[in-house]
Structure 1
Amino acid sequence: MNGEEDNIPIPSLVDQPQENQEAAGDGESTDQPNREDYGKTLYGCEHYRRRCKLRTPCCNQVFTCRHCHNEAMSVLSNPKERHELVRQDVKQVICAVCNIEQEVSGLCSNCGVKFGEYFCHICRFYDDDTTKKQFHCHDCGICRVGGRENYFHCPKCGSCYSIELRDNHSCVENSMKNHCPICYEFLFDSIKGTTIMKCGHTMHMDCYSEMISQSQYRCPICSKSVFNMSRTWERLDLEIEATAMPEEYRYEVSILCNDCNNTGKALFHIFGHKCRHCNSYNTRMITTGENHQ
């Protein structure tokens, strides 16, 4: 999305529909609220409803939001010119209603409209859609959605998680300050939903669902099982018991268990090798059987 500006007149009472003029004419007390709410949810982009645009200090262009900026800059033909906007660096905004450029604030200094029903001065973040229940997390340093009462900040993982995960997840230091192992988008400030696997590593919810639909049950980072596989291991027990290997393949191999990290021995079988410590078949061979080809 480009940063072109429109020559929109400054809103006044005569610019409003007839019914709004009548409501505003009853007294001065109704004038200010109407003026602040003028154009609410009518401006913005595919990412946010807001009544201002940002002057990006990195390239001195105008975009509705940082996502619009980052998408436009990521496709530049010259890789050296590609960059992302640091939201806290924004100093100037342009009112989408009256087109006046000014310092970052919650209200337009010229026409008096709110730039966003939700406004965070730290993040330079505006949004008219407050149903998202936005809140600023000082530990994360950015705004989150979903309601402050529904989340807590995990200092070790370095991010906000659902309160359902308080004392109920495996902590991995700065696990959210990494890229999704599937699509490789940075997770910490991604607008997509994320999930935490049993091992503590994180990825996008959509990427996780796609991975499971492809019958991949292991974490792409550490290879641990992402959910309880005990029933699958029981079925493998029955299949291995019913499928004897030829005499020349009846030997032991050394294995490493991805689930419990223990090493051990297991009888070679084409269906899998069972860990004697945790009964998992999520293992890998680390040596072949001695004296066998």
Structure 2
Amino acid sequence: MADEDEHMQDDVDIEESDEDPDEDGDEGMMDDAPMQQPEPVEEDGAIARRRAIQAIMRDQSTSDQDKRLQIQALMSGGRTEVAPPPSPVLPENNASCVHYERNCNIVAPCCIRVYGCRICHDELSPAGHAAMNRFLVSQVVCKLCNTTQQTSNQCINCKTIFGEYHCSTCNLWMSQSKKPFHCAKCGFCRVGGADAFRHCDECCMCISIGVYADHQCFKDKYKNNCPVCREDMFSSRQSPQDLPCGHAIHAHCFRKLAGFDYRCPICKKTVVSPQSMAAAWDARARDIAEHPMPADLQRIVDIMCNDCETKSHGLNWHFLGIQCPNCNSFNTVVEQVLSSGADGNTNGANQNQNLGNGSGT
């Protein structure tokens, strides 16, 4: 037993010596052991940044602008150094502008690219790119010497005058042939000569003096989109036109519309004068009298006139239209079917849907 106890004690001593070696032994073991790889600190940092960016993008309470600033601060590591603004991208073969006669191109403040004018920018930019803000333009490029400079009407290098007309508020350069002028109440420049227009404070628009006395005033009437082309009429380069009903439309859009429809696209009132439409209404009435409806297609209906807004009851329906007894207009719509067919049965709403517009258009 004594020998066994001594043997067990020797084993304990050996184990203790292995757990607590001296300095020489420790150095020897470090020399023989393989070197441990350093922790991937940079890789972990990239993963952490990626997760932080994902968290920022998922935050619905933060605006897109704030998200961009937070991501920029995260990627820059908190550095306060601001990179210099990029140089403007100069056009190839000098940007040509078909909209204005001028000796300079503009640097778009949104994309730092050079265009002939703001309209060139909007037309040539890719789909989805926002329209350029003309009031934020701060740099121009001389077409003759390609010198980039602050906005003015004379090149600082070759002394070229950029435009016969220059508005520093709207950043507009153009010739005097279209008689441009700046309206302080509208807030930007218009063409046609200041003496040919008068600003209406109710409509908030410059109106030609030829129609100013007779135009119908509506609050902010022109601060709407054209009902045909959907372009903003207030800032449009195309002239608007007042319809007899008081609504406004582009003059060129009205000419296209008049080729196939005689009604206002908003309120459906006839845009042609009653005197001019009288002959057309009379011809329609003669056609209806000469071609009566067959017995099985006869209807008795109630109508409303889009022109005089009068409701009429118990009129005979015809596929060519139903004439208003009050103003003789055929611009009418069926409101209710009272009876149908030779036996006078009433089919209600279904007949109303099938008949549709009483004018037949």
TM-score norm. by structure 2 comes to: 0.63
User: Structure 1 residues 140 and 281 mapped into 2: Cα distance closer, same or farther (>3 Å)?
Assistant: same
Which deviates further from its counterpart, 64-73 or 258-267? Answer: 258-267
User: Structure 1 residues 84 and 247 mapped into 2: Cα distance closer, same or farther (>3 Å)?
Assistant: same
User: How far apart, in 1, do the equivalents of 2:337 and 2:166 lie?
Assistant: 62
Structure 1: runs of 5 or more not aligned = 9-42
What is the deviation of 1:237?
2.5
Match in the other structure for 1:70: 122
Structure 2 counterpart of 1:107, one-letter code: Q
Q: Which of 346, 355, 359 is matched with 1:292 structurally?
A: 346
User: How far apart, in 2, do the equivalents of 1:260 and 1:156 lie?
Assistant: 26
Structure 1 counterpart of 2:234, one-letter code: F
Q: Which one has a larger percent helix, Structure 1 or Structure 2?
A: 2
User: How far apart, in 2, do the equivalents of 1:204 and 1:151 lie?
Assistant: 17
Q: Which of 267, 270, 284 is matched with 2:319 structurally?
A: 270
What is the deviation of 1:288?
1.7
Q: Does 1:240 align with 2:288?
A: yes
User: How far apart, in 1, do the equivalents of 2:298 and 2:144 lie?
Assistant: 78
What is the deviation of 1:45?
0.9
Match in the other structure for 1:33: none
What is the deviation of 1:250?
5.2
Q: Does 1:51 align with 2:137?
A: no
Q: Percent identity?
A: 37
What is the deviation of 1:110?
2.8
Conserved? CA contact 2:222–2:248, under 8 Å = yes
Conserved? CA contact 1:7–1:98, under 8 Å = no
User: How far apart, in 2, do the equivalents of 1:249 and 1:72 lie?
Assistant: 56
User: Structure 1 residues 61 and 6 mapped into 2: Cα distance closer, same or farther (>3 Å)?
Assistant: closer
Moved over 6 A (4+): none
Match in the other structure for 1:125: 172
Conserved? CA contact 1:44–1:50, under 8 Å = no
Query: Larger relative contact order (C-alpha < 8 A, sep ≥ 6)?
Result: 1
Match in the other structure for 2:263: 218
User: How far apart, in 1, do the equivalents of 2:217 and 2:279 lie?
Assistant: 26
Structure 2: runs of 5 or more not aligned = 1-87, 340-344, 348-361
User: How far apart, in 2, do the equivalents of 1:241 and 1:5 lie?
Assistant: 68
Match in the other structure for 1:168: 214
State the number of aligned residues. 251
User: How far apart, in 2, do the equivalents of 1:230 and 1:201 lie?
Assistant: 23
Which deviates further from its counterpart, 48-57 or 155-164? Answer: 155-164
Structure 2 counterpart of 1:155, one-letter code: D
User: How far apart, in 2, do the equivalents of 1:219 and 1:282 lie?
Assistant: 11
Q: How do residues 1-293 of structure 1 correspond to structure 2 at under 5 angstroms?
A: 4-5=90-91, 45-73=97-125, 75-76=126-127, 79=128, 82-127=129-174, 129-213=175-259, 215-228=260-273, 229-247=277-295, 251-265=299-313, 266-290=315-339, 291-293=345-347
Structure 1 counterpart of 2:336, one-letter code: T
User: Structure 1 residues 47 and 118 mapped into 2: Cα distance closer, same or farther (>3 Å)?
Assistant: same
User: Per the alignment, in what secondary structure is the counterpart of residue 258 of structure 2?
Assistant: helix
User: How far apart, in 1, do the equivalents of 2:227 and 2:310 lie?
Assistant: 25
Structure showing greater Rg:
2
User: How far apart, in 1, do the equivalents of 2:96 and 2:183 lie?
Assistant: 24
Conserved? CA contact 1:6–1:99, under 8 Å = no
User: How far apart, in 2, do the equivalents of 1:177 and 1:278 lie?
Assistant: 33
Which deviates further from its counterpart, 247-256 or 172-181? Answer: 247-256
